[in-house]
Amino acid sequence: MTDGLTLTFSGGELRQLLDERIDYHHRRVDRWAHEKSRTSEDETEDAPLLPEHICTNEAERHAWRAQVLQFIRDHVEPAETYRLSAADLEFGELLPSKPGWLEQADYEERTRVAFTLERATKAADRLATAAQHVLWNRDAEEAATVTPGIVEETGEFRTTRVDTGSGPEVIMIERK
């Protein structure tokens, strides 16, 4: 019995598939090098010039990926049989490419989650700031009668604990 989904490949077949992916990445390096060498005369409305750093980064990413796949290919024995898991297939880029619309949908989902998380973080920050403001400015008379509790000092910070009596303990951390 096999645990999980695994696919069986001969070493020779696996090397051939890896060679195809390595060739793909070499073509992408060439494409990004060409893109980097374009001048304003080559620019069109449909093909604007891309920033040089983007071209450089993409060329380096594809070159690195080709090196990773070459390293793996060089350690695959042609006469052996290999059982690959879904993670192995994905890492080796051995699965068929996603259609463009699905790739776009995945991208939109990832960015939607990231933007939602960013908005939630900003809302929590605003709430914490408002709560701090309310606690510190709650009642001037009460604040005048409250004496600071334990004061701890380090080389960089002073921590003051204030018992407000009717409310929660307030901890104030100040940078010296």
Q: What is the pLDDT of residues 78-137, one digit of tens each?
A: 999 999 999 999 999 999 888 888 888 888 888 888 888 888 888 888 777 777 777 776
Report the distance separating Cα 103 and Cα 109, nearest Å: 10
3-state SS class at 167 = coil
* Separation in Å, CA 35 to CA 42, 45, 110: 10, 15, 27
Contacts of 82 (CB under 8 A, 6+ apart): 8, 9, 10, 11, 14, 76
Taking residues 5-34, report their average pLDDT: 96
pLDDT at 129: 79
8 A C-beta contact, residue 160 and residue 147: no
